[in-house]
Structure 1
Amino acid sequence: MKQDMTKIKLHTFSGWIDPPTDLQPAVSGEVTCDIAVIGGGVGGMGTALRLAERGQDVAVIEAEFCGYGSSSRNGGHISGAPGGDLRMLKLFYPKQMKGMVLLADHAAEYLEGKIRDLEIDCDYVPNGLSFGAISPIQMMRVKSCAKILKDAGGRGQVGTAEELGIPRAFVGGMREGVGGMLNPGQLCRGLRGALLASSARVYEQSKVTDVRREGDKVVITTPGGTVIANKVVLSTNAYAGEWDITPKRLSIPAWIIEVETEPIAPERIAALGWTSRTGVLSQHQIMEHFRVTERNTMVFGVRRLERGTSYPLPKDKAPDPGLVQELADAFHTRFPSLADVKVAQAWGGWIAITSSWISLAGKLADNVWYSCCCNGHGLAQAPYIGSLIADNIVDGTMHEDLECIWLDKPKFPPFLMMGKAGLRTIWALDRMGDKFNGHKRRARRAAAAAAAAVSVS
C-alpha cells in the first residue's frame, strides 16, 4: 500500500518518548573529577551508576542529553544471545564462543535486575526474542545457530511458528530463554533519573571536541569549558571516531531506522498467531525485525544499513521517506492481512558496528578505558559491560565476562563489505533470496488463516 509520506511523522529524535524538559547544565569553565565518562547512552549511564554506587567521584559528559542517541531509538529488544551470525562467530572465535554466549545471557539478566531494582516503568515484558525463519532454508540456519547456542551453554527453544507463538508467516524459529521487549525511551529516562539522583555529576549539552593526555591527566575539551580527569571511560558508541585518541578501526557508524504503525485492533494481532507477542528477527544477512508494542502498534525496522562516511556525524537526521516506504512494503508483504494498516511515524539512529561483529573492551595506556557493544543486537550488553569496567577501575580485577571480550592491544582488522557497494550487494542478495524462498505464498496462506480467525471471533 503506497502511503502519502507527508502524513508520516519523520522524527529527528525518537518515536518512543519526547526529549526531557530538565536538561542539565553544560560544562562551564574548568571542571575536575577523578573519573569522567564520555557519553550518556545506556553504556555510559550504566558505567557511571556503578561508579557512583562504588563511591567514586564521577562526571558524565554528554553532547545532547542522556539517552539521546541510539539507546532511545532502537527496537526495544533485550537479547540473551550474542549479536551477529552465530555460525560466523563460532568459525572465527571458537575459543571465545562459550564466553560470549554467557556474557549475553548475564547481560540480559543484569538489565532485567536494573529495571526491577530501580523500578523503571518501561513496559518490559520478559517474553524472550525469536530468531524467525521465513523459509525452510532460513530454518536450517536457525537450527544451526540454536545448536551453537546450546553447545555454548545458552538458552533457546526451537519450534514451529505455532509452538513458539510467533506469526504464521514464519516457518518457525528459535526463541531465546532470557530477555524480552520494552520501550527503550522509557528505559533511558528511568536510567537517567537514577543517574541524576546519584552522586554522579551530569553535564549535558556538552559536545566533546577533543580528548588528549597531558601528563598523568586526561583533558576533555567542550565548547563551554574543560574537564580534567584522572581516568576516562569512552562510552560513545557510533560517535567515538570523532577524536584521535580513539583506537583506529574500533567501529564504523551505521544509520538504521525504525517504523511504527498506527494502532491495530488486538484481535487482528492475535489472528496472526502471535500468541507470545515476542519480538522476531528474520534470518536475512541484514535482519528485519518485527514487534508488537504495549500500545498495540507494530514497530519494525533495519533491512538496510547506511554507513557514516565522515565525522562529525550528521545531527538531527530524519529517515529517508523512500526507505520508510520500502520498510512499509516489506511489512505489508510479510503480513498481508494488515495491508490496510498505515505507518504513523519513523525515526532513526546511529549505531556502532565492530569489524568482528562482537562486543569489545580495552584500555589505552593507564587511564583511558573504552568499549563498543551490541552491534545493533539488543540493549543489554552496553550497560552490563559498563558496570564491569567500573568494577575494573575501582578494584583492578576483571570479571570473566569482561575478560572474554578484552583486548590487550587495540588492533582491529579492516571492515569487509561495509562500504556503500558492499552494503548494496548484501541487500541485493537478501532480496534475491526472498524472490525464490516462497515467503510471499506463505504470507498469503497465513493471511487467509488470519482472516478466518477474525471472522470466527
Structure 2
Amino acid sequence: MCKFVSLGTVPLSCDLQREAVINMTNVTASGVGSVGVTYSAFSGWADRPTEFAPMLEGELTCDIAVVGGGYAGMAAALRLAERGADVVLLESGFCGWGGSSRNAGYLSNALAGDPQLLNTLYARRLPSLVRYADKAARFTEELIGRLALDCDYEPTGNVIAAVSPGQLRRTRRNAEILKGAGADVEFVEGDSFGLPKAFLGGVFERAGGLLNPGKFAFGLREVLLASGVRVHERTAVRAVEPDTSGVVVSVPGGRVRADRVVLATNAYSRDLPFAPRRMVTPIWTSLVETEPVAPERLAAAGWTRRIGIVTPHTILENYRPTPHGTIMFGTRRLRTAPGALGAREPDAAVVADLVRGFHERFPSLGDVAPQRAWGGWVAMTPSLLPVAGEATKNVFYAIGCNGHGLAQSPYLGTLLADRLAGERMHDDLAAVWRARPRFAPNLFSAPALNAAWAVDRIADRLHSRRA
C-alpha cells in the first residue's frame, strides 16, 4: 500500500508550476489499455490549496522545530502544541503536498513485508510490532473522529487476497503467524467473503478501512493552521546544526533556533545531509483510476463486499472502490529515484502494465477505461519496519512508512511528540526505536525491483496456464 510523507531540500515553486503544466496535459501512454489517460504530477484525490502559510523570513526561536509537513510532522506538531510547547513547522511545499495526499487511501493495521519473513527476522519482536501496527490504525481512526475530519472514511477493513493456490496457501500460513502474534485478523475464503472472482481468499484485517487521503491530509492541514503552531510553507530547510544552546535550522530567508528538532521527512530524508545516512530509499509508486463502474457490474464480477484488496505478490497489487463509483489500482511495478525528488508524473510503461494487470484480475471489466494516473514517493527502510530515534544531539526522526504511513505516521509522530514533552517512552515507540542511527545498505535498487516484477509476472503466467 502506498502511503507517503513529503519534504524536499529545495524550494518547490518550480515543482508547483510543473504540476500546473502537467495537470493540463492529456498524454497518450504507450501500451495496451492506456490510451487517453490524464497524467498528473499532483494527486487525483483533491485539488492543491490556493493559499499558503507564509514563508519564513528572519529569525525565530521556539521549543521544538518540526521539519516536514506530512502526516507525521503535522501530527507531531499538533500534539506538541497540545502539550504546551512552542512549535514551528517548516515545509518546503505545502503541508500534505507529498505522498500524504497521493496514496491509495488504505488505513491498515498491517506491517510491511511478508509475515513469514518478518517472523524469521524479528521473531521475538513480532508481537510488539504487531501491537504497534494495530494501535496505529486505531489511533488514526480515532483521530479522524476527534478532529471531525471529512475524509470519506469507511471502516471496512482490508484483505490481503491470493490470486493463485500457492498464494492462498501462503496467506493461510501468514494468518496463523499474525494471529499467533496477536493481530486482529482471520483467514477468509474469497467466494463466501464477497471478493472478486480472481481472488481466492486471504488474510482479512479487521481494523481500518478506506478513505480519501487527500481530504484527510488537507483536513489535518486546516486543523494545524488553526492551531497555535507557527507554520511556514514553501520554506526549504538547508541545514540542521546542533550547537551549545540547542539546534539551528537554516532556511533561505532566515533561521530557527530551537531546543530540539523533529525530522518528519520520510522519503525526502535521502536528500537531506543532516538525516541519518541510508535511513530510507525513496520508491516511486503509481496509481490509476478508472471511469465510473456501475455497481451491478462489480457485483457480477463477484465484488460484493466494499473492501480494499492487496495481493501477496513480491511487489503487491492493490485494488479498491472509491466513493464516486470508480476503481483505483496501483503499485505492481516500482521506480527508483536516481536524481533529486520532486514533482513527477507516472511512467507511461508502468501505467500500461497496471492497466494490463487490472484487466487480468477483472476480465469482465475489460471495457472499463482508465482515466487518470498519478503517484508519489514511498520511503522504504532497510528493515521494512518503521523507525524512530535520535539522529544527533537534540535532533530526532520518525519514519513510519514502507507503504503503511497512512495509519502509522500520525501515530508515530504523536508518540515521539509525547516523548519529547517529557513522558516516558511508550512501549509502542520502544518497539521501533533505534538506539543508534545506523542503517544497512539499500536493497531497493532498480535491478532488484525489476527482477521482483519479472518474478511476479512469471508466477502469474504459470498460474494462468494451470488454471
Q: TM-score range by the shorter chain?
A: over 0.9
Shift of 1:282: 0.6
Deviates more, 1:84-93 or 1:266-275: 266-275
Cα contact 1:167–1:273 (8 A) shared by 2: yes
3-state SS of 1:395 partner: coil
Q: Give the counterpart of 1:321 among 348, 357, 360.
A: 348
Q: CA deviation at 1:378?
A: 4.9
Q: Is 1:126 equivalent to 2:152 in the alignment?
A: no
Aligned to 1:384: 411
Structure 1 counterpart of 2:457, from 422, 431, 434 = 431
TM-score, normalized by length of structure 1? 0.93
Amino acid at match of 2:358: F
Following superposition, the deviation at residue 223 of structure 1 comes to 2.0
Name the CA shift for 1:87/1:439 in 2 (closer, same or farther; >3 Å): farther
**Range that drifts further, 265-274 or 122-131:** 265-274
Using the TM superposition, name which of 131-140 and 82-91 deviates more.
82-91
Q: Cα distance, 1:333 vs. partner?
A: 1.0
Q: Give the Cα separation in 2 of the matches to 1:241 and 1:220.
A: 18
**Are 1:2 and 2:32 counterparts?**
yes
- Does the residue aligned with 2:421 lie in a helix, a strand or coil? helix
Sequence identity (%): 45
- Conserved 8 A contact 2:415-2:426: yes
Matched, 1:90 2:122: no
CA contact (8 A) 2:154 2:209 kept: yes
Counterpart residue type for residue 432 of structure 1: I
Q: How does 1:158-307 map to 2 (within 5 A)?
A: 158-307=187-336
1:216 Cα deviation after fit:
3.0
Matching of residue 332 in structure 1 with residue 362 in structure 2: no
Matches within 5 A, 1:4-19: 5=35, 7-19=36-48
CA–CA distance in 2 between the matches of 1:39 and 1:225?
Answer: 17
Any stretches of 5+ residues in structure 2 without a counterpart?
A: 1-30
Aligned length: 437
Q: Does the CA contact (< 8 Å) of 2:238 and 2:250 recur in 1? A: yes
Letter in 2 for 1:329: R
C-alpha contact (below 8 Å) 2:33/2:356 kept by paired residues: no
TM-score using structure 2 length = 0.91
SS class of match (1:170)? coil
Residues 337 and 369 (structure 1 numbering): CA distance in 2 closer, same or farther, change over 3 Å? same
CA contact (8 A) 1:334 1:440 kept: no
Q: Which residue of 1 aligns with 2:6?
A: none
The residue matched to 2:103 in structure 1 has which SS? Answer: coil
CA shift at 1:245, angstroms?
Answer: 1.9
Q: Is the 8 A contact 1:33 1:57 kept in 2?
A: yes
Correspondence 1:411-426 to 2 at 5 A? 411-416=438-443, 418-426=444-452
Give the match's secondary structure for 1:175.
strand
How many angstroms apart in 2 are the aligned matches of 1:206 and 1:440? 56
Q: Deviations over 1:124-163 (max 9, x none)?
A: 0001010010001001111111111101111112111123
Runs of 4+ in 1 over 4 A off after TM superposition: none
User: Counterparts of 2:337 and 2:34 in 1: how far apart (Å)?
Assistant: 28
Query: Taking structure 1 as reference, are residues 410 and 11 closer, same or farther at Cα in structure 2, changes over 3 Å only?
Result: same
Deviations 1:381-432 (A, max 9, x none): 011010000000011410000000111111112223x212111111111111
For the 8 Å contact 2:282–2:337, the answer to whether it is kept is yes
> 1:162 & 1:227 partners in 2: Cα distance?
58
Contact 1:374/1:381 (<8 A) preserved: yes
Letter in 1 for 2:421: V
Does structure 2 retain, via aligned residues, the 8 Å contact 1:29–1:224?
yes
Deviations 1:293-324 (A, max 9, x none): 011100100111211224x31x2211111211
8 A contact 2:287–2:329 mirrored in 1:
yes
Q: Does 1:32 align with 2:61?
A: yes
Q: How has the CA–CA distance of structure 1 residues 440 and 63 changed in structure 2, closer, same or farther, with 3 Å as cutoff?
A: farther
Partner of 1:140 in structure 2? 169
1:109 is matched with which residue?
Answer: 138
Q: 1:30 is matched by which residue type in structure 2?
A: E
Q: What amino acid sits opposite 1:356 in the alignment? A: S
Q: CA deviation at 1:284?
A: 0.4
Tell me the residue number matched to 2:7: none
Counterpart Cα distance in 2 of 1:438 and 1:270? 23
Structure 1 residues 440 and 78: alpha-carbon distance in aligned structure 2, compared to 1, 3 A threshold: farther
Other structure's SS at 1:2 match: coil
What letter corresponds to residue 53 of structure 1 in structure 2? E
Contact 1:52 1:200 (C-alpha < 8 Å) held by counterparts: yes
Task: Decide whether the 8 Å contact of 1:259 with 1:301 is kept in 2.
Answer: yes
Please tell me the residue identity of whatever aligns with 1:437. Answer: H
Counterpart-to-counterpart distance in 2, 1:342 and 1:431 = 22
Within 2, Cα distance between the matches of 1:65 and 1:424?
33
Deviations 1:247-277 (A, max 9, x none): 1111111111111001111111122222221
> Does the aligned pair in 2 maintain the 1:135–1:439 contact within 8 Å?
no
Shift of 1:439: 8.3
- 1:356 and 1:118 map into 2 onto residues whose CA distance is 33
- State the SS of the aligned residue for 1:423: helix
- Aligned counterparts of 2:183 and 2:431: Cα–Cα separation in 1: 16
Q: What secondary structure, in the 3-state scheme, does the structure 1 residue paired with 2:231 have?
A: strand
Q: Could you tell me which runs of 5 or more consecutive residues in structure 1 were left unpaired when the two chains were aligned.
A: 442-457
Given that 1:83 and 1:377 are in contact with CA atoms closer than 8 Å, whether structure 2 keeps it comes out as yes
CA shift, 1:4, in A, is 5.8
Q: Separation in 2 of the partners of 1:252 and 1:440?
A: 37
- Conserved in 2, the CA contact under 8 Å of 1:15 and 1:73? yes
Please say if residues 12 and 318 of structure 1, whose CA atoms lie closer than 8 Å, have aligned partners that are also in contact.
Answer: yes
**1:90 aligned partner, one-letter code:** N
Q: How far 1:32 moved relative to its partner?
A: 1.6
Q: Deviations over 1:335-376 (max 9, x none)?
A: 011111111101011110000101111113441110111201
What is aligned with 1:450? none
Measured on the aligned residues, the alpha-carbon RMSD in Å equals 1.4
- Name the structure 2 match of 1:447: none
